[in-house]
Structure 1
């Protein structure tokens, strides 16, 4: 990332990568505007995976884990091999992008993998066959958190000192707990927005919203 920024500065070019986090949501643009206005971003937190959001909100509503994963693939939210999403690596990469914007200089985060070790290296067909074996464990986890008025969400937290990507139980009536489907949410805690973070929410997966983010970058490059 540092080498890329240095190359951009040397060449006098510009770099835009809005759609890398939150599809078409103006997450990176909001960070840029906060910094340009003289604010300092202290922490960025949220749910950035439309796939994991869809799966986790579905199981929270009583759907079997295996059915939720298969639906996410069928609807085009997940990669053809959903382990690419369930591993948490994609969410972790998005967290790292945000962390770099906050001057985090450490290594990439070790994202929490939602796929059991026994199913991570098997062939795709074998993974699908055994996917339903995870349903009961997920049902128990969901019911346990429900009894505590909480739901499971895959949360990314980026600060200048660390980046984390992991499964978290959050209050069901919180902003993160209220997310449904592929909706993403990001909150900016800044010097000005310290007691009440700035929150942005919207769809975080799908070809149309992702294309909109890319088109916005192209437009900004063309007019500036």
Structure 2
């Protein structure tokens, strides 16, 4: 591929960072053997679309998008018609968390459109969509399909999925995977129950702090319900060979008190959360009494097929307990590595 045409959907936090990195890459790699040509920059309400497939100037793309009255491409028909007209290969970069867009991945891949995405929905929803995506993607039996890359669906920028794939493809046998898969949950418990220096902060206070710092979703319940971690475990389980049908087909411990599940707003939820601090304080004290600490983790046992998400206690000397800030840590226990896990750790 000497020219690669790029359609970018989604310009939120991830999308804006992607635009910046892509712009810097294009500027600093003008002599590269391949030329990257942005042809679409789109949000849910408007789009900038290059009708003649000439490159969109990325440094001004967001300003142009803010003024645009052009509707986004509709999927799959209008988008496929446009992509087919490109004078080269097209990569769709989906920076959204849109389940409806993810449902169109198979049609796009069948038509040779490549996909790169951090959108977990296509890979952690009902397994029929997972099967359809990979049946449509390029492979030994389908040389005309598009490539699909979703490394950032687990661990963001960390090489989690590529590490798992290489272990499997080089003949190792994965036995267990466990870790902290959420930067939000990492920050909450590293702050609420830090190792080595006690914290007097109440759990509700830490949640408010995390929300104010931008570590949580606008409504922290979207993090505290555990579903985000469950989606990541679903993807890891499927890559490990387990037939996990949905991300709710295994135990998920929610940290949302039952009476607050129906709170009318995030502010109402946070105002009421302090009434339930006692239960979380007791969990922390019970762990400390036996020289341990609590962390919110995902666990996957490939041999037994057991998958779960929730609170567990860990020795204070463990790598999971010693995590700092909002880092992620994923431990792979395999036949090759024995009792000493292969660990991927860093900013999530």
SS in 1 for 2:322: coil
TM-score for the superposition, normalised by structure 2: 0.56
Per the alignment, residue 181 of structure 1 pairs with: 325
TM-score for the superposition, normalised by structure 1: 0.85
Report which of the two structures shows the higher radius of gyration computed on alpha carbons. Answer: 2
- Identify the structure with the greater helix proportion: 1
Deviation readout 1:113-156 (Å, 9 max, x if unpaired): 01111111111232121021122322222122111111111111
Match for residue 14 of structure 1 among 129, 147, 151: 147
- Show structure 1 runs of 4+ deviating over 4 A: none
Contact 1:47 1:156 (8 Å CA) reproduced: yes
Per the alignment, residue 44 of structure 1 pairs with: 177
Higher mean alpha-carbon deviation, 65-74 vs 82-91, is at 65-74
Inter-partner Cα distance in structure 2 for 1:37 and 1:12? 25
SS in 2 for 1:123: coil
Per the alignment, residue 221 of structure 1 pairs with: none
Deviation readout 1:139-178 (Å, 9 max, x if unpaired): 2221221111111111111233132111101111211111
Inter-partner Cα distance in structure 2 for 1:85 and 1:18? 21
Considering Cα pairs closer than 8 Å and 6+ residues apart, tell me whether 1 or 2 has the greater RCO.
Answer: 1
Match for residue 288 of structure 2 among 141, 146, 149: 146
Per the alignment, residue 234 of structure 2 pairs with: 96
Inter-partner Cα distance in structure 1 for 2:170 and 2:318? 29
Match for residue 190 of structure 2 among 49, 57, 78: 57
1:121-160 equivalent positions in 2, closer than 5 A:
121-124=262-265, 125-160=267-302
5+ residue gaps, structure 2: 1-129, 194-198
Inter-partner Cα distance in structure 1 for 2:301 and 2:256? 27
- 1:83 aligns to 2:241 (yes or no): no
How large is the RMSD of aligned CA atoms in angstroms?
Answer: 1.5
Inter-partner Cα distance in structure 2 for 1:63 and 1:24? 30
Per the alignment, residue 339 of structure 2 pairs with: 195
Inter-partner Cα distance in structure 2 for 1:15 and 1:163? 25
